[in-house]
Structure 1
Amino acid sequence: MQSNSGYTYNSDDSDFNKNSDAESFALNDTPEDASSVTSGTSKNFNKEEEAKKRILIFNLNEQFGDEDQRISADITEIQQIFIAIGAESAIIKRIFRAGDFQPNSPPRRIHVFFESERDRQRVLENASKLKNILKWINVALVEYTTQEQRIEKKNRKQAVC
């Protein structure tokens, strides 16, 4: 895990899942006598709450160089995108690219965590403006959903058919 300009960057998705700030906050704030009551339900709730503050970015080109240079380039370019779409006030809490860097592979997806749901919503509402900017015409900003949410959505679609 690396820190740069106030942002935290993890090189893979599993690192965040193991060391989630939201999970540690919830566990540390649980009264000692209530710790035995903590269940999988509260973990699912935390994941869903975190998902409400998270987006995915696809097809953002990766820079070459060492890890610190790539991290810095990602942060700078994401900030430029947010300025270009009119969401410059969105506060980024953490970013990371999923998987390991491979120079000749397609760009890895980027997970972006915001301070609030409102920041996330502001970015998503303005995401369609990217299609008008040649530099980022193929970049997609999409809503993040948990695996449980994706399964539920799939089941609803099947029920309709």
Structure 2
Amino acid sequence: MTINFDPIFSGMQNGPDKINLNFNEVKTELERMNGDVVTIPKEQFTALNGTNLDPNIRNGCIFKFNNFAIVSFHMYVKVTMKGWTDREAVSIPKSYVNGYSKFEMFGDHRRYGFDNDGAQFEIDFHLDTGTLSIYTRDAEWDNKGAAINVSGILYN
């Protein structure tokens, strides 16, 4: 938060007006920080490349501020893939992330366990295409399910 205050001193001319201007600066900055919340309807998530996307377990929110946004996507997928395979699995309309040039995921890209077998997989969100990809690591997936949770920051 960057606010530039006018200095105020005892007995200055227009002191109350300067105090009011400083107050308005603080108010404006706090309003800017409130941001907007954009909810991505579950119908806007599209399964790609043979991915089965649970119709009821998919949602997303984007918390937009002036210079950045925080995103959170959640979904459950089932896929059949060979080991060490990377593919795009789910997309959202790119218009939700327009205006940003970089994405940094919170936490590790690697996820562990689904169907109680402890297999590892990696996920990534591709800002340029609005797609989420799955990388199967060494396990072959035969209609395996995975809960996908992606959170991160969009910025320029």
Using structure 1 for the length normalisation, give the TM-score.
Answer: 0.25
Higher RCO (Cα < 8 Å, 6 or more apart) = 1
Kindly indicate which of the two structures has a greater share of residues assigned to strand: 2
TM-score normalised over the length of structure 2? 0.25
